[in-house]
Structures are given as structure tokens and as C-alpha cells.
Amino acid sequence: MSWWGYYPSPYSYWYYPLIPPDPMYMMATAYQWLIIPYYYMLTLEMYRAIIDIWKKSIENLTKMTELKQ
């Protein structure tokens, strides 16, 4: 509750409906919605590539040991 009593605060959205949005808030929101999902997607793709490399190297090691026997 504000010092205005039962009236809305002068800093509320309804009191000043024509204030443009805060650019810092918009930048943070754009970062959350646009950049962070791509970051997670790239990290998951990197993990998949690393796991595939490990699988291929383990398969190659098993093939090498089978040829020696």
C-alpha cells in the first residue's frame, strides 16, 4: 500500500500507462528467450558429439584387440 492511501501509487503501471518499457528489462528478456536456448542446444550437441567420439574410439579399440587374438 502506498502513502496515497487507497489510490494507486504514482509509480504503478495503471497510473502511467504510456511509459515505454525499460530497455534493460527488454534486453534481459530477449537474452532469456533468444540466446539461452541456443546456448543449451549447442552444449547438448557438443555432448552428443563427444559421446559419439567416445563410442567410435571404444569400438575401434575393441576391433584392434580382436585382430590381435
Q: Which residues have CB under 8 Å from 28's CB, separation 6+?
A: none
Alpha carbons within 13 angstroms on the beta-carbon side of residue 18 total: 0
User: Measured between alpha carbons, how far is 43 from 46 in angstroms, rounded to an integer?
Assistant: 5
* Cell digits of residue 37: 536456448
Along the 69 residues of the chain, how does pLDDT read in single tens digits?
455 555 555 555 555 555 667 788 888 888 888 888 888 999 999 999 999 999 999 999 888 887 655
Region of 16 on the Ramachandran plot (φ > 0 left; ψ -120 to 50 alpha; else beta) = beta
Domain coordinates in residue numbering, the chain? 19-69
pLDDT at 63: 87
Q: Is 63 helix (H, G, I), strand (E, B) or coil?
A: helix
pTM for the full predicted model: 0.52
